[in-house]
Chain A
Amino acid sequence: MRSLFYLVCSAFVIGLAYWAYKENYKTQASLKEVKELQQQIAHEKETIAVLKAEWAYLNRPDRLRELVDLNFEDLQLIPLLPSHFGDSELVGYPTTIFDEIVEPVTVIGGTQP
């Protein structure tokens, strides 16, 4: 009886030791991963900052103006002037007459017979 008790106890201790050993390595692996992720985050944030700066630089008013001048033939953009404001009445009523809808239309969420 007593020897069985000792056997069970030592098996238990060996089990615990194995568990602790595994947990230790798992923790170290997680820590390493966290470190890598943090480096990655830092890198991504740096990239975001660079992209933001680049976006602002590419959209600087001087450059846009030059681009507009260079592409005047295609875009025909001119500075916004008071005469460019219009009235909603000046927008033409659509003249296109659409075909009559004959096919059944599925309404999302609705019931279809």
Chain B
Amino acid sequence: MIRTPLRPLARVIDARQHGQNPDRIEAAERAKRNQAVHQKLRKRAEVRLTLLGLAFFLGFAAIGGKMALLAISEPMEPKLAYSGSKIYSQRADITDRNGAVLATNLVTTSLYAQPQKMINPVRAVEELAKVFPDINPEKLLKDFMSERKFIWVRKKISPEQQQLVHDIGDPGLLFGPREMRLYPNGSLAAHILGGTGFGKEDVRAAELVGVAGVEKYFDVRMRDPAQVDKPLQLSIDLTAQATMRRVVEGGMKIMDAKGAAAVLMDVHTGEVISMVSLPDFDPNERPRPLLKGDPSDSPLFNRAAQGVYELGSTFKLFAAAASLEKGLVTENTMIDTRGPIKWGKFKIRDFHNYGKQLSVMDVIVKSSNIGTARMAQAAGTQVQKELLGGLGLLEPTALELVEATHIKPLVPKNWSELSTMTISYGHGIAATPLHLASAYATLANGGFKVQPTLLKVEAQTAYGARILADDTSKTLMRMLRNVVTRGTASFGEVKGYSVGGKTGSADKPKPNGGYYDDKVIATFASVFPTDDPKYVLVLTLDEPSIQAAGEKRRTAGWTAVPVAAELITRLAPVLNMRPEVAGSGKVHYTQVKN
């Protein structure tokens, strides 16, 4: 590079000769130099700006390009997702307390038709009618010939049927996967499980929705994807349930009853071990509810948890409990049983004349209406209300069944002194067998409130609120035991299990007032074993009658009690209860192969 000096000598000499200021030459040169530097800097800045702009442009272009790609590409599932926790069924299983399956899902096939794709609708209908005999060919053909683009033929078909439909070979007949709910045990525990139906339907899948029972109560939990792999474990024991259903069914036939309900409950935890209501139904093909007439005539009606009945003399124990708890009487206090008690037009009578007086124990053992009415009158309405309320007999139970959540016992609107007296022996108040079972569980477990539940209790943490003193509970158990050993429930004795219980026979109310003379609800509420109560069993027979000892018998002592005794004989061994044999231990053993 040739460096130009600031004061080139030739020009300075020349300027001096002409009398000019040579400093101006220097200034001009300096300005020239500065301009060159300036231009260089400007150029560099320009390059930098362009580069920066380019970088920004590339950045934005990358983001924009990716966005455009995402927007135009087809969505797809990530192929490498871990499949271990993938959901394969959409509804959790239900099992009994030992893990036996009560309800599960099966993938089946649904059959639908797209008439526009059909080659020969007439032949297709003919062939379909051969595969499904109960199909209506005329209606189906009309559908196939119509403008409709989509027709459900069958919602669930078996693999064999699918093959047969395949063999028809019509391209307009199409299959879709369909999950269905299976209740492998059929009508066993039908009222507890309830049933399911299809909700939103699609060709590829259909929603399974609970329509009754625990299926509906726990619908959200059953469909919760986080819990779908965990089965819902009920408190029901499948073996006990099967045994109970079998025995109750047999007893119902022998006693010529039109319906029956039985509840077996753990007195400490309130777990319902088995619950039967007959007649029942198959939840796999749940019948439609009755549109007219009495809903309680439908097999869908759960007599144990929905049926509100006057349970008769089984309520007498509550009158005794109230008086004992308030310290008004002991089991030996004598009660005046002269009758009838007249109250206005109303008279309270006894079944037999029990003489002038009976002890509190004997009032229960002999089931004296007059005796209990006197006791209740002496204790007062408030005491009775308090106890019945404490036992949960005035509110719906907490059982996890949709049907049971709104079943409130029927009590008189105006709870007068007369009501108090009639309620003391179970008239004028109506509750479900389940209410009775949980109330008896409280009486039996030492006086703690019991919340009936259908869910397995893994480990009992605490008892409910105390309703009765421990002593009262023990006295009441002695009374129940005496009813069986020397009272109205003498057929209820089961060797080795120290059964105690109270019978109740109440006339059925007519639909338009008054009571039938020849229709009763016979109930037996029992506790076993009474010396260390474990289970409460309530059995209710609807309109039983049996020809025995020369006359037609309808009272619980002749109808419900023998059936309940058979139930305990069969249920207790199944529940791993060993018969207690007092004294010498002379037991009769039968040799069995197992």
Chain A positions near chain B (C-beta within 8 angstroms):
31, 34-35, 37-38, 41-42, 45-46, 49-50, 52-53, 55-57, 59-62, 65, 75-87, 90
Contact = CB atoms under 8 A, between A and B. Distances in A.
Contact of A83 (B88, B182, B243, B589): B589
B569 A81 contact: yes
Given A53-B104, A57-B182, A82 B579 contact: yes
Could you tell me the dominant secondary structure of chain A's interface residues? helix
A57 B188 CA distance: 12
B83 A38 contact: yes
B495 interface: yes
A52 B80 contact: no
Interface residues of B, number: 41
B253 interface: no
22 contacts: A34-B80, A37-B83, A38-B83, A46-B88, A49-B88, A49-B89, A49-B107, A50-B106, A53-B105, A53-B106, A56-B104, A56-B184, A56-B185, A57-B182, A59-B100, A61-B188, A76-B593, A78-B592, A81-B570, A82-B494, A82-B579, A84-B592
Given A81-B590, A82-B569, A86-B589, A52 B101 contact: yes
A82 B572 contact: yes
Contacts, number: 97
B45 interface: no
B419 interface: no
B239 interface: yes
A58 to B, nearest CB: 8
B412 interface: no
- Most B-side CB within 10 Å, residue of A61, A65, A75, A87: A61
Contacts of A60: 184-186, 188
B574 interface: yes
B590 A53 contact: no
A50 B585 CA distance: 50
Given A75-B593, A82-B569, A56 B101 contact: yes
Contacts of B594: 77
B3 interface: no
A53 B579 contact: no
A20 to B, nearest CB: 19
A57 B243 contact: no
Given A60-B185, A60-B188, A90-B589, A82 B495 contact: yes
Nearest to B572: A82
B295 interface: no
Interface of B: 79-80, 83, 86, 88-89, 100-101, 104-107, 182, 184-186, 188, 238-239, 242-243, 246, 494-497, 569-570, 572-574, 578-579, 585, 587-590, 592-594
Nearest to B84: A41
Nearest to A62: B186
A41 B593 CA distance: 43
A53 B105 CA distance: 8
A53 B101 contact: yes
A84 to B, nearest CB: 6
Contacts of B587: 83, 85, 87
Given A34-B80, A56-B185, A80 B101 contact: no
Contacts of A81: 569-570, 573, 590
Contacts of B105: 49, 53
Nearest to A75: B593
Contacts of B494: 82
Given A57-B182, A80-B574, 15 more contacts: A46-B107, A49-B105, A56-B101, A57-B184, A59-B184, A62-B186, A65-B246, A78-B592, A79-B243, A81-B570, A81-B590, A82-B494, A83-B589, A84-B573, A84-B589
Nearest to A55: B101
A72 to B, nearest CB: 11
